[in-house]
Structures are given as structure tokens and as C-alpha cells.
Structure 1
Amino acid sequence: MTIAELHFRPATDQDIPALLDLVESAYRGEASRAGWTTEADLLDGQRTDAPALAETLARPDTRVLLAERAGELLACCTVERRPAGAYFGMFSVHPASQGGGVGRAVLAEAERYVRDEWDAAQLEMTVIVQRDDLIAWYERRGFSRTGELSPFPYGDERFGVPKRPDLAFERLVKVL
């Protein structure tokens, strides 16, 4: 199958169990080490939970976009309308599908969606600054580092259990 055979659609509440499995597999635990986007060396614990996903799906200016091939969920991302454009987050590609263009296709669909549906002029995100390989991937896709840092939410295990004391997020921006 090819990238052209990917089907995109917005998530619904019925997708929460599959979404939760996908996001956790891409970021946490030993299973995530099969791909290159793992945060297992930086964080333990969960990446998200079912109540947080339900809350995200209920927000009127937020969409969770799913990428499927032959009915199988391969990837997802969240886009949120913001005054200056849109925010991109919860980007997850199943570890077995990483490195084959699925992530590029999802990012391109997110950019198309916010540009066409919301008339957004820019897309922003935050990435853990210690993720040099991931930041470089985004830079190759037109994102710029801003140098704007925000603290990691230490003490709030809804976002994971840090394995090091120096985690922070950097804001990246792409003009669409």
C-alpha cells in the first residue's frame, strides 16, 4: 500500500480506545522503541488518558485527525484554532509505520486542514527541547525554532513521569 491510500477523517468518541492505544504506543514504554519518536528515555507513565481525549474531542475549535489505511488506524494529530493561526499536537504514528512517509502525510494534511478550513496563516507546536532528532525533522519540513521555552509540567503525572530534571518545551512555528 502507498501513502496515497491513506484516508483522513476527524475522530469521534468511539475512536478513544484506539486513539489511546496509538498515542501510548508511539511515545511510551518498550513498544515505542520500535519507532524513532519514542520519549521512553525521557518520560515514564502515560502520554494521555481517555478523559483527556474525550475533553479534547469536545472542544469546538479542536479536531483530532486520524490517518487510516484499509480501516487500520496508523496515525493521528490534534489541531486547535488559535488567534494567530493553529496549534499542532498529539502527533502520533504507530511505531511500525514510522519512517515510511505516514508522518509527512499527516503533517501535510494538518497544514491543509487549518489553512483551508480555518484560514490559518501559521501552525505552531511545542516540542521537548531534548528531542533534537524530532526538532530537526520539523525544521526540514519548514518549522522554525523560536527560542521560546515553557516549563514541563513536573508533578502532573497526566503528562508523564519525568526521568530527568531539565525538561522544557520549545515553541516551533511554520508560516503556511
Structure 2
Amino acid sequence: MNALRFRAATDADVPALVELVTSAYRGDASRAGWTTEADFLDGNRIDPDVLRADIERPRSRVLLAETEGKLLACAHVAEEDNAGYFGMFAVAPGLQGGGIGKQVLAECERIAREDWRLPVMRMTVIDIRDELIAFYERRGYRRTGIFKPFPYGDARFGLPLRDDLRFEVLEKAL
């Protein structure tokens, strides 16, 4: 595979981003990869209007990873509370486990550290996602023990199939 090329998303990328993120987390297509949430969430994973707002706001970048113009992965990196925030991380299901995600995460950390001079990167992960949390721990993130509620009742973020979902904040010094 040719080298990844990174670029910031534009409004024109929104439909492809919604498709990519949905394929990585929802429905049967997501089961081809290891990041699926299909067993505990249905419905949307990303709302186009929320995505457009993330693309347009200052100190926020929706990062695309492409090879020969083909979208392979994405993530959102932004400044929140004098820290980097990492989210909306998706790699096409058939390409997961091949190192693309590690490169995307490293580029987002570089943006927060070098471009924005932020001291730490934070993210929220659904706390039942043990395999995903372990992936981040291998990359230097630590569990903080800080939990945030899942947005039950807000269909923009999915339709929960269970009632015990919550987010844990993970953190890494940059």
C-alpha cells in the first residue's frame, strides 16, 4: 500500500466521512473490523451537522488519511480545556489491524503537541470496550477513573441496546 497522506476535511467530505465512521462502528459491515459497537449500539455514529461544526470551528481538525485519493481513516482532534481531544476515530473495517490507525493517532498527537502546543491528549471511550482501551494503553494512554454519562435519548449519537453505557476519560501526556 502507498504511503498515507493526511489532510483536513472540508464540508465536501462530510458524506464520505459519515459512511466511513458508520461502517467502522455500526451494523454488519462493522463486524469485519474489531472496533464494532453493533452489539450495544445501533443507529447513527456521527451526525452530519455535528461533523460540519467540528470541521468549521477553530482549533479543531477532522483529519483524513488517504492513499491515492481513497479515504481509509479519519479522526477528530481539537483543543478542549487546554488539552487535545481525540475522537471520531475510524479505519475502514477491512483495513483495521494493519497499522493505519496507529499512524492516524500519532498524527493527531503531533498536531496537538507541535501545532497547538498542548500538554496532554484526552479521549472518551465507552468503558466496556476493554480491547479498545487496551489498544490505547499500549500507546501510552492511562485510565483516569473519570466517567461521563452516555447521551441516552440523543439519537444523533446512536440508539443504545443496553442501559449501562458510560464513557471513561483516557489521557496521555504529550
TM-score for both structures, normalised by structure 2: 0.98
Q: Residue in 1 aligned with 2:121?
A: 123
Asked if 1:79 is matched to 2:66, the reply is no
2:6 touches 2:66 (CA, 8 Å); kept in 1? yes
Picking from 101, 105, 110, the partner of 1:112 is 110
Question: Paired residues, what number?
Answer: 174
Q: Secondary structure at the match of 1:92?
A: strand
Backbone CA RMSD of aligned residues: 0.9
Cα displacement (A) at 1:42? 1.1
Shift of 1:36: 0.2
Match of 2:53 in 1: 55
Cα deviation, 1:16-59, whole Å, max 9, x if unaligned, reads 11111101001111000000001001100010122221111111
Identity over aligned residues, as a percent?
A: 60
The aligned counterpart of 1:162 is: 160
* TM-fit CA distance, 1:84: 2.9
SS in 2 for 1:134: helix
Question: Secondary structure of the equivalent of 1:148?
Answer: strand
Partner residue in 1 for 2:143: 145
Match of 2:17 in 1: 19
* TM-score, structure 1 normalization: 0.96
Point out 4+ residue stretches in structure 1 off by more than 3 angstroms.
none
1:91-126: CA deviation from partner (whole Å, max 9, x where unpaired): 011101100000000000001111111001110000
Aligned letter for 2:77?
A: V
Unaligned runs of 5+ in 2: none
